[in-house]
Structure 1
Amino acid sequence: MTDVVVRRRRSGVDIVMGVLLVIVGLVVLAHVVWSTVVSVVFLGWLALVGGVVALVAAVFSIGRGGFWATALSGGLLLVRGLMLLRHTGAAILALTLLAGSLFLAGGIVRLVMAFDRGAPRAALLLSGVVSAVLGLVVLVNWVAASFTLLGVLLGAQALTDGIMLVLFGSARVDRRPELVGADRVER
């Protein structure tokens, strides 16, 4: 069994990506309805293309294992893409409900992680509270304000994640086999 050490690192790439996320968050917040519709249409085209690619991959795997699973998943992905593109309004409602659930779950996880030893407590608490509150707002108002709310939530989440990345960087996991059996306390 190897000991795993998680370290925080902040590099130039983290800062650049964080600044780009902040800029994207501000642009999305400036055009919330447009960004909501564009994101749903983008997801529809992504699912459509992914379904076609999976179906083509299934054709090339005829006679080998996995044909039916690949063909079925490709067909379902193709249908999902068509439904997202054909019924954009209903897709926005469904994705708003999904986004609210994900924001709430992500916020709860960050709040729990804030009490882990060695974690950046203040940043995780702030980010967790923002994500949980945004999730609750979506789940309470998911029908009434879905066209604007999804854009606002996506922009706020990008802005929060960008600030977190600039301030604290990203995590790096090191596996240290020389620590096997050693009694080591992480601070």
Structure 2
Amino acid sequence: MTGAVLERRHSMWDVILGVLLVIAGLVILAHVFLATVVSVLLLGWLALVAGVVALVAAIFQIGRGGFWATALSGGLLLVLGLMMLRNPGAAALTLTLLAGALFLAGGIVRLIMAFDRGAPRAALILSGVIGVVLGLIVLFNLFTATFTLLGVLLGVQALSDGIMLLLFGRLRVRRTDDLDRTTGNVRPR
């Protein structure tokens, strides 16, 4: 029987990568303005390159299905990348507005889900209230948060990824044909 087993893997490389991510997270949190600008510029360059690649791919699809979708998405990505690179301040403001709206919407959805039967109410209400509060803080202080929020989010993400990697290692899904049907465990060979 074919199946999948979720394994935890913890090697020396995981420890090294975890330490590097923790250091990177602390450095990013110490320089949130610079991290915000760098992340906006990086996103701009990624959109620009992805747009060029999609336009080149569209050329190879001329006469076949999917040409227009690929060409239009490539053109939009190219324009988006150019706009982000030409005006990183407006791009940071737009991304901050988007992040605030996502916090607010996610918090409202969690609060609504808390009233579903069988839902973990306390956890959903707590995370929903936090999401709504974060969203309102960002949206009511949009210009203040523009050059700090993205850097703070990036720093917290790098820090938490590093800590999780140090504590738990990486998870790996391994396909196997030797699952015991009664327990679901891998049979020893």
Is contact 1:138–1:149 with CA below 8 Å preserved after alignment?
no
Detail structure 1 runs of 4+ shifted over 3 Å in the superposition: 97-102, 135-138
Q: CA 1:172/1:51 → structure 2, altered by over 3 Å: closer, same or farther?
A: same
Question: TM-score, with normalisation over the residues of structure 1?
Answer: 0.73
| Residue identity (%) | 63
How far residue 138 of structure 1 moved from its aligned partner, in angstroms, is: 4.4
Work out the CA distance in 1 between the residues paired with 2:132 and 2:170. 27
Do residues 4 (structure 1) and 22 (structure 2) align? no
Work out the CA distance in 1 between the residues paired with 2:159 and 2:133. 17
Work out the CA distance in 2 between the residues paired with 1:137 and 1:147. 19
How far residue 9 of structure 1 moved from its aligned partner, in angstroms, is: 1.0
How far residue 5 of structure 1 moved from its aligned partner, in angstroms, is: 1.7
Q: CA 1:137/1:22 → structure 2, altered by over 3 Å: closer, same or farther?
A: farther
Work out the CA distance in 1 between the residues paired with 2:36 and 2:10. 31
Q: Which amino acid aligns with 1:140?
A: L
5 Å-filtered alignment, 1:74-93, equals 74-93=74-93
Task: State the partner residue of 2:182.
Answer: 183
Q: Which amino acid aligns with 1:81?
A: G
The number of aligned residues is 161
Task: State the partner residue of 1:111.
Answer: none
Task: State the partner residue of 1:148.
Answer: 148
**Structure 1 unaligned residues grouped into runs of 5+:** 109-124
Work out the CA distance in 1 between the residues paired with 2:97 and 2:21. 23
Is contact 2:96–2:145 with CA below 8 Å preserved after alignment?
no
How far residue 179 of structure 1 moved from its aligned partner, in angstroms, is: 2.2
Work out the CA distance in 2 between the residues paired with 1:74 and 1:185. 46
Task: State the partner residue of 2:49.
Answer: 49
Task: State the partner residue of 2:64.
Answer: 64
Deviations 1:17-71 (A, max 9, x none): 1112112111211211111011101111110121112112212332233222211
Work out the CA distance in 2 between the residues paired with 1:138 and 1:48. 31
**Structure 2 unaligned residues grouped into runs of 5+:** 111-122
Work out the CA distance in 2 between the residues paired with 1:3 and 1:97. 43
Work out the CA distance in 2 between the residues paired with 1:97 and 1:185. 46
Q: Secondary structure at the match of 1:178?
A: coil
Question: TM-score, with normalisation over the residues of structure 2?
Answer: 0.72
